[in-house]
Amino acid sequence: MLDVKINKSLGDFHLDVDFQVKKGIVGLLGPSGCGKSLTLQAIAGLLKPDSGRIAIDERVLFDDKKRVNIPTRLRSVGYVFQNYALFPHLTVAENIGYGLAGLSKQEKQQKVRSILETVQLEGLAKRYPNELSGGQQQRVALARTLVTEPDILLLDEPFSALDQHVKKMLELELLEIIKHNFSGVVLFVTHNIEEAYRLCDYICLYDSGSNIQFGEKGEVLTRPVNKAAARIVGCENIYEIDSFEGSLIIVNDLQLKVVGTSITHGKYVGIHNYDITFVPSSSEANTFEFKVRSIVEGIDHSTVTVTVGPLLFKVDVPKATVTQISEGDIMLHLPPEKLFLLGV
Partner 1 sequence: MDQINLFPLYLSLRVALTATLITIIIGLPTAYYLSRARGRVADFLDTVITLPIVLPPTVLGYYLLVLLGRNSAIGSFLEERFNIMIVFTPTGAVIAATVVSIPFLIKSAKAAFLGIDLNVVNAARVLGRTEFNIFLTIIVPLAWRGIAAGITLGFARALGDFGTTLMVAGSIPNQTMTMPIAIYDALLAGNRDLANVLVFIMTAVSLFVLYTINRLEKRVSKGGAN
Binding site for partner 1 (CB under 8 A): 44-46, 72-75, 77-79, 81-83, 85-91, 98-99, 101, 128-131, 144-145, 148
CB of 88 to partner 1, least distance (A): 5
Are 270 and 344 in contact by the 8 Å Cβ rule? The answer is: no
- Rounded CA-CA distance 335/321 in Å is 19
Nearer to partner 1, 41 or 237 (CB): 41
CB of 126 to partner 1, least distance (A): 11
CB of 122 to partner 1, least distance (A): 21
The distance from CA 186 to its chain's CA centroid, rounded to whole angstroms, is 12
Nearer to partner 1, 188 or 313 (CB): 188
- Rounded CA-CA distance 216/26 in Å is 9
- Rounded CA-CA distance 28/4 in Å is 13
Distances 27 to 92, 186, 188, 304 between C-alpha atoms, Å: 28, 8, 5, 30
CB of 130 to partner 1, least distance (A): 5
DSSP 172-188: HHHHHHHHHH--SEEEE
| Among the listed residues 137, 124, 1, 123, the one whose alpha carbon sits nearest the alpha carbon of residue 56 | 1
Spatial CB neighbours of 78, under 8 Å, sequence gap ≥ 6? 145, 146, 148, 150, 152, 153, 154, 182
Distances 225 to 148, 210, 258 between C-alpha atoms, Å: 38, 14, 16
- Rounded CA-CA distance 75/55 in Å is 10
CB of 101 to partner 1, least distance (A): 6
The distance from CA 293 to its chain's CA centroid, rounded to whole angstroms, is 32
Nearer to partner 1, 86 or 115 (CB): 86
CB of 154 to partner 1, least distance (A): 9
Nearer to partner 1, 77 or 306 (CB): 77
CB of 237 to partner 1, least distance (A): 39
Nearer to partner 1, 83 or 255 (CB): 83
Nearer to partner 1, 30 or 129 (CB): 129
CB of 252 to partner 1, least distance (A): 49
- Say which amino acid occupies 170: L
DSSP 262-311: -TTS-SEEEE-GGG-EEEES---TTEE--EEEEEEE-SSEEEEEEEETTE
Nearer to partner 1, 86 or 342 (CB): 86
Q: Tell me how long the chain is.
A: 344
Nearer to partner 1, 161 or 248 (CB): 161
Sign of CA dihedral 53, 57, 61, 66: positive
Nearer to partner 1, 13 or 87 (CB): 87
CB of 25 to partner 1, least distance (A): 19
